[in-house]
């Protein structure tokens, strides 16, 4: 088959035997899974024993991208990593952006399958001219920025997935990074790379991506790019990025943290921190940040981040009060490959245990406070696996074993700490999906109309629902929640938010609000048709997304993920005390308090909308057969 959009090639690398194999992309896989997260999931299902230890050499890493990546389709820069993760034990995918996906395509490959492990530290070079494993001993102990800078200076115009020192030391929640600015792999991709002695992957090439219908493509592209250029908030997006959407000031005002409003304000960002913005290939927004501290004891520090919002979120630690400390702390965490969410929630949880007398300074080596100095000490202990840091390095599951009487107070789902606390932003799809996704707590439910918008007119949601490709026959169910005044059934809506995210990520389109707001399922389908020449319709793409999601669920059923694992953290049902505020778990639309009974009913509705067995929380036989997945039972 002659491919357009796709390169038609998969690269398989055996790190143990230093062997490479080029495999033809399967036409049937393209038809059933599109690409990106879809084909990644299919490749992992065909190459992985689900019951292996995630940090054993038997684990497999799949890295891939979609058919629109490498073109100038706005925001088509998505790279997907699929494996079995050590922090959660889940089989799932993580996503990043920047230039790796484009460079992988230009080197001539749609996906990489990495198996085995090396005896010595190495990095992989992938180009359109050669595949080579290089000795990386001189990079041992180097952080992500240092490693990326070195490899870019050595390899020229390229993109780099890099591991940090946390991953080298097998910290179970360690992340990798793409080109210094895009995090890649919550729940432990960095640790898996560390177990394989894989420091980095370099991709570069000049092969180009062929488009099947150039004339129609340019017509679509020009129409879309003009819409984006004429968008009334475009300049604000380009100026502020993710800070445009995040109501930090409102949140800090609600809890009485007046000083933090000023420290995390847009003015502070623009006047005291912003150095320049970075755009992923084909992105018209440029929402990645390079920050520079221009005064104080950290003057001259340069921080690379996917958004300044990440740095400012450290202000939720009550005793971090200056933007300099927030940026410095995030820089240390990010360079080493730690997870800022994990580290800040460790600090919250352990300080509370310390204040209750459950842990002591003698036992842990730390006089626990929610401040900058304590956070830096804990980071160092975790990276080096020293003392109490060894327990923390093994993740929340280990911590819950040691302090099992306090597991009910941990804000974790499937061994991973929450990203969105619904007591702060109400229970939308982003918050709810943390519970039902095998991955656990994460950011994934892209395109959700419930993102930072509680209380909007109910009728306005229909526009978003149609844009996401939600079928007409589902509409009445979405507006039929467990209680009439709730307005929207978040359980049922989450299924379609997940499917929409999967379509975008299979094609390679960024799921961030600034980009996906300009897409509809209709437009995504039209781009797919003009780039690939394949006549799949909207229903075909929707079905491919559903097939991917069900296959991922079937893989996780094999390692024990059923309804018993899909639980709201008990702490969500207790008031959250923040400053002067007492926040309760409320539904997204009407502000009705969510009880455990309502939560369980929403989970029932999610399973029902997916066509899964409600009691067990797994796909029914009829659904499996409908999606042609019987061989994976």
DSSP string, 456-485: --GGGHHHHHHHTT--GGGHHHHT--SSGG
Q: Are 418 and 186 in contact (CB under 8 A)?
A: no
- pLDDT for residue 446: 57
Domains of the chain as residue ranges with CATH: 9-203 (3.60.9.10), 231-402 (1.10.569.10), 416-632 (1.10.599.10)
Q: Are 39 and 64 in contact (CB under 8 A)?
A: yes
- pLDDT for residue 261: 86
* Range in 131-140, 260-269, 402-411, 524-533 the model is least confident about: 260-269
The confidence band for 420, taking pLDDT boundaries of 50, 70 and 90, is confident
- pLDDT for residue 580: 77
219-244: average pLDDT? 93
| Structural tokens at position 463 | 């526009």
Residue 97: helix, strand or coil by DSSP?
coil
Q: Are 192 and 55 in contact (CB under 8 A)?
A: yes
Q: pLDDT tens digit string along 172-183?
A: 999 999 999 999
| Structural tokens at position 465 | 């629902």
Residue with tokens 């992938």: 126
* Range in 329-343, 378-392, 585-599 the model is least confident about: 585-599
382-387: average pLDDT? 97
Residue 365: helix, strand or coil by DSSP?
coil
User: Buried (b) or exposed (e) across 37-69, using 16+ Cβ within 10 A?
Assistant: bbbbbbbbbeebebeeebbebebbbbbbbbbbb
Q: pLDDT tens digit string along 102-156?
A: 999 999 999 999 999 999 999 999 999 999 999 999 999 999 999 999 999 999 9
Residue 101: helix, strand or coil by DSSP?
helix
- pLDDT for residue 203: 98
Q: pLDDT tens digit string along 243-265?
A: 877 777 767 776 678 888 888 88
Residue 590: pLDDT over 90: no
The confidence band for 445, taking pLDDT boundaries of 50, 70 and 90, is low
The confidence band for 452, taking pLDDT boundaries of 50, 70 and 90, is low
Tally of helices (H runs) and strands (E runs) in the chain:
28, 21
- pLDDT for residue 385: 97
- pLDDT for residue 553: 96
Residue 210: pLDDT over 70: yes
The confidence band for 447, taking pLDDT boundaries of 50, 70 and 90, is low
Residue 521 DSSP class: H
Length of the chain: 633
Strand partners, 56: none
Q: pLDDT tens digit string along 318-340?
A: 899 899 999 999 999 999 999 99
The confidence band for 394, taking pLDDT boundaries of 50, 70 and 90, is very high
Strands (E) across 111-239 are located at 111-115, 122-126, 131-135, 159-163, 176-178, 182-184, 198-203
Residue 208: pLDDT over 60: yes
Residue 185: pLDDT over 90: no
Share of residues in the chain with pLDDT > 90 (%): 83
Per-chain mean pLDDT for the chain: 94
> Which backbone phi and psi does 578 adopt, to 5 degrees?
-130, 110
Distance linking the first and last C-alpha atoms of the chain: 30
221-227: average pLDDT? 98
> Which backbone phi and psi does 109 adopt, to 5 degrees?
-135, 145
Residue 492: helix, strand or coil by DSSP?
helix
Q: Are 108 and 7 in contact (CB under 8 A)?
A: yes
Residue 348: pLDDT over 70: yes
Nearest-CA neighbor of 541 among 504, 574, 511, 568? Answer: 504
- Rounded to two decimals, the pTM is 0.96
């Amino acid at each position: 088959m002659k491919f357009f959009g796709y390169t038609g090639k998969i690269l398989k690398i055996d790190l143990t035997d230093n062997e490479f194999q080029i495999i033809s992309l399967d036409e049937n896989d393209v038809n059933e899974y599109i690409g990106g997260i879809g084909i990644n999931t299919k490749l992992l299902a065909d190459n992985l024993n689900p019951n292996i230890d995630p940090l054993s050499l038997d684990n497999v890493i799949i890295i891939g991208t979609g058919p629109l990546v490498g073109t100038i389709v706005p925001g088509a820069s998505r790279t997907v990593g699929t494996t079995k993760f050590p922090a959660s034990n889940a089989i799932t995918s993580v996503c990043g952006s920047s230039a790796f996906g484009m460079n992988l395509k230009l080197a001539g490959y749609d996906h990489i399958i990495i198996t085995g492990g090396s005896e010595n530290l190495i990095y992989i070079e992938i180009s359109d001219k050669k595949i080579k494993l290089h000795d990386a001993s001189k990079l041992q102990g180097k952080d992500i920025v240092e490693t990326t800078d070195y490899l870019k200076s050595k390899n020229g115009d390229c993109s780099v997935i890099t591991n940090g020192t946390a991953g080298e030391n097998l910290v179970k929640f360690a992340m990798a990074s793409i080109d210094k600015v895009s995090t890649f792999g919550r729940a432990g991709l960095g640790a898996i790379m560390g177990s394989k002695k894989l420091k980095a992957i370099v991709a570069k090439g000049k092969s180009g991506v062929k488009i099947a219908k150039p004339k129609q493509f340019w017509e679509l592209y020009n129409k879309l790019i003009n819409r984006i250029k004429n968008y009334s908030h475009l300049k604000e997006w380009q100026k502020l990025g993710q800070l445009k959407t995040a109501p930090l000031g409102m949140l800090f005002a609600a809890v009485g943290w007046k000083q933090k409003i000023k420290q995390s304000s847009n003015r502070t960002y623009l006047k005291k921190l912003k150095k320049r913005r970075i755009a992923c290939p084909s992105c018209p927004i440029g929402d990645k940040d390079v920050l520079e501290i221009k005064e104080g004891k950290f003057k001259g520090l340069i921080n690379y981040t996917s958004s300044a919002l990440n740095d400012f979120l450290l202000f939720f630690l009550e005793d971090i009060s200056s933007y300099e400390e927030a940026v410095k702390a995030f820089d240390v965490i990010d360079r080493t490959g730690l997870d800022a969410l994990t580290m800040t929630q460790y600090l919250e949880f352990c300080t509370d245990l310390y204040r209750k007398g459950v842990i002591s300074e003698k036992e842990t080596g730390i006089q626990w406070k929610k401040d900058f100095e304590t956070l830096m000490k804990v980071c160092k202990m975790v990276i080096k696996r020293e003392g109490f840091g060894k327990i923390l390095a093994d993740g929340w599951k280990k911590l819950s074993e040691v302090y099992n009487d306090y597991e009910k107070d941990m804000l974790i789902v499937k061994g991973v700490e929450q990203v969105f606390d619904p007591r702060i932003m109400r229970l939308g799809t982003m918050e709810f999906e943390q519970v039902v996704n095998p991955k656990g707590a994460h950011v994934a439910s892209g395109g959700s109309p419930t993102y930072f918008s509680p209380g909007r007119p109910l009728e306005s949601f229909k526009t978003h629902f149609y844009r996401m490709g939600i079928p007409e026959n589902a509409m009445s169910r979405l507006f039929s929640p467990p209680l009439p005044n709730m307005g929207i059934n978040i359980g049922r809506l989450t299924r379609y938010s997940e499917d929409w995210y999967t379509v975008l990520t299979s094609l390679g389109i960024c799921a961030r609000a600034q980009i996906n707001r300009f897409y509809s399922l209709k437009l995504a389908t039209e781009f797919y048709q003009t780039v690939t020449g394949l006549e799949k319709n909207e229903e075909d793409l929707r079905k491919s997304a559903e097939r991917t999601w069900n296959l991922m669920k079937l893989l996780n059923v094999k390692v024990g993920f059923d309804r018993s694992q899909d639980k709201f953290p008990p702490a969500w049902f207790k008031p959250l005390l923040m400053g002067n505020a007492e926040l309760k778990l409320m539904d997204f639309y009407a502000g009705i308090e969510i009880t455990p009974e309502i939560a369980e009913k929403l989970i029932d509705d999610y399973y029902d909308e997916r066509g899964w067995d409600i009691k067990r929380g797994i796909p029914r036989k009829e659904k499996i057969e409908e999606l042609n997945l019987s061989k994976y039972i």
